[in-house]
């Protein structure tokens, strides 16, 4: 496996010629210039990252990083850790919420156990366990630096394995009770934001539960004092095994030049950690949707990305990411259609000032 140092120091260059070629192909198609908006930009980004304007996404996979978080003892979730175990097993069986969505998007779903509490081996769930859930961040660090580095390395190595199998795009999702709490703490630390403005209800907290969640995030930040300039320190102190693994997947996608789709708020937090560790990896990131979690928009703005889907979603499991795949399929059908102005017998649009 690659080390964290290799992942964060390796540059990720883009191919401007491939990007220009993809742009010219879009402009040759018989439609108004740029009329598919962000979807056209995503195809050009993929061409630039891979160095190939013949963009194909025939094989795609969704990695769902699953883990439990010790901060659940602070009453920050409506359900128990048992739900993480059950959903991870359902993901492997193909019966969780994202599975039928992924089937329509022709996307393989791969659940990964990064540290589900008291979880025995289950067929179809990859075992990359770092520990039996993290510690309570409101009372001390979530994990050790060594655990964080191993989780990041595992995430990157999963992308390496998929690339070796011919996967052309990876989506990154998660499942873990109380992980909106850890994700909120990481967001607050990295973006210097007050928990009051970014902590949301997650999977459906009551008003009292929301106050407990805000209190837990404040306590985590006050107790651990994570260094905003050091994403590794932030992950160690107030993150989760799932977040660290996802961060590794984003770093690995950049290293192996595989386009990678961000899901919602939690996925975006991990993407921001990766981007802060190695700014180059942003080149291959594609935003899918604007999460209805309060921190959703702030995270995308920090990443400098726009998301084409505004649907008020906050399901998790990579559900928003697979929705983007369906939109990309529509865009690529046009991109490869060959229905040019020349074939139409019409004068092409030209940029106007």
- The pLDDT of residue 205 is above 80: no
Of 241, 239, 238, 199, nearest to 221 (Cα)?
238
Q: Which residues are marked as active site? A: 317
Indicate if 60-331 has the same CATH topology as 4-54+335-344: no
Q: What is the secondary structure of 265-313 as a DSSP string?
A: HHHHHHHHHHHHH-GGGGGGEEE-B--SSTTHHHHHHHHT---SB-S--
DSSP-assigned letter for residue 73 = G
pLDDT score recorded for residue 348: 85
The C-alpha atoms of residue 266 and residue 192 are separated, in whole angstroms, by 17
Three-point CA angle 248, 171, 79, nearest 5°: 85
74-116 pLDDT per residue, tens = 999 888 899 999 999 999 999 999 999 999 999 999 999 999 9
Phi, psi torsion values for 126, nearest 5 degrees: -70, 135
pLDDT band at 13 (very low <50, low <70, confident <90, very high): very high
For residues 49 and 158, give the distance between their C-alpha atoms in angstroms, rounded to a whole number. 19
Say what the pLDDT of residue 142 is.
98
| Planar angle of CA 344, 350, 353, nearest 5 degrees | 155
Q: For the chain, first and last CA: distance in Å?
A: 51
For domain 60-331, the question of CATH label 3.40.50.300 is answered with: no
Is the pTM here over 0.85, yes or no? yes
Which residues sit opposite 340 in a β-bridge? 29
**Domain spans in the chain, listed from the N-terminal domain onward:** 4-54+335-344, 60-331
Listed in sequence order, the residues at least 6 apart from 49 whose beta carbon sits closer than 8 Å to its beta carbon are: 12, 14, 15, 257, 259, 283, 284
Among the four given CATH numbers 1.10.1610.10, 3.30.365.10, 3.40.50.720, 3.30.390.30, the one describing domain 4-54+335-344 = 1.10.1610.10
b (16+ CB within 10 A) / e for 42-81: bbbbbbbbbeebebebeebbbbbbbbbbbbbebbbbeeeb
Instruction: Round the average pLDDT of the chain to a whole number and report it.
Output: 96
Q: Residue 247's closest CA among 260, 102, 257, 134?
A: 260
Phi and psi at 100, nearest 5°, equal -65, -30
Supply 121's token pair: 């081996």
């Amino acid at each position: 496996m690659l080390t964290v140092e290799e992942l964060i120091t390796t540059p990720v260059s883009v191919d401007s010629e491939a990007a220009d070629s993809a742009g010219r192909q879009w402009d040759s198609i018989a439609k108004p210039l740029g009329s598919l908006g962000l979807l056209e930009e995503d195809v050009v980004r993929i061409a630039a990252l891979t160095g190939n304007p013949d963009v194909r996404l025939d094989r795609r996979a969704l990695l769902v990083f699953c883990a439990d978080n010790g901060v659940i003892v602070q009453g920050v979730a409506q359900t128990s850790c048992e739900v993480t175990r059950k959903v991870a097993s359902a993901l492997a069986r193909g019966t969780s919420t994202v599975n039928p969505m992924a089937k329509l998007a022709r996307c393989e779903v791969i659940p990964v156990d990064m540290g589900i509490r008291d979880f025995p081996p289950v067929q179809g769930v990859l075992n990359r366990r770092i520990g039996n859930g993290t510690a309570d961040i409101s009372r001390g660090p979530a994990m050790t630096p060594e655990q964080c580095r191993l989780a990041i390395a595992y995430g990157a190595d999963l992308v390496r394995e998929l690339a070796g199998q011919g996967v052309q795009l990876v989506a990154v999702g998660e499942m873990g009770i109380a992980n909106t709490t850890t994700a909120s703490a990481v967001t607050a630390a990295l973006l210097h934001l007050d928990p009051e403005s970014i902590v949301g209800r997650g999977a459906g907290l009551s008003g009292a539960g929301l106050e407990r969640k805000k209190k837990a995030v404040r306590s985590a930040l006050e107790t651990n004092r994570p260094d905003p300039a050091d994403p590794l320190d932030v992950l160690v102190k107030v993150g989760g095994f799932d977040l660290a693994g996802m961060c590794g997947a984003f770093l690995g996608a950049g290293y192996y030049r595989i386009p990678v789709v961000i899901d919602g708020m939690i996925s975006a937090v991990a993407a921001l950690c990766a981007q802060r560790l190695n700014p180059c990896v942003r080149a291959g990131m594609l935003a899918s949707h604007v999460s209805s979690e309060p921190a959703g928009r702030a995270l995308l703005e920090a990443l400098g990305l726009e998301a084409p889907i505004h649907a008020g979603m906050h399901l998790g499991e990579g559900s928003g990411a697979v929705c983007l795949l369906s939109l990309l399929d529509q865009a690529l059908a046009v991109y490869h259609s060959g229905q040019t102005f020349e074939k139409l017998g019409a004068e092409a649009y030209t940029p106007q000032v």
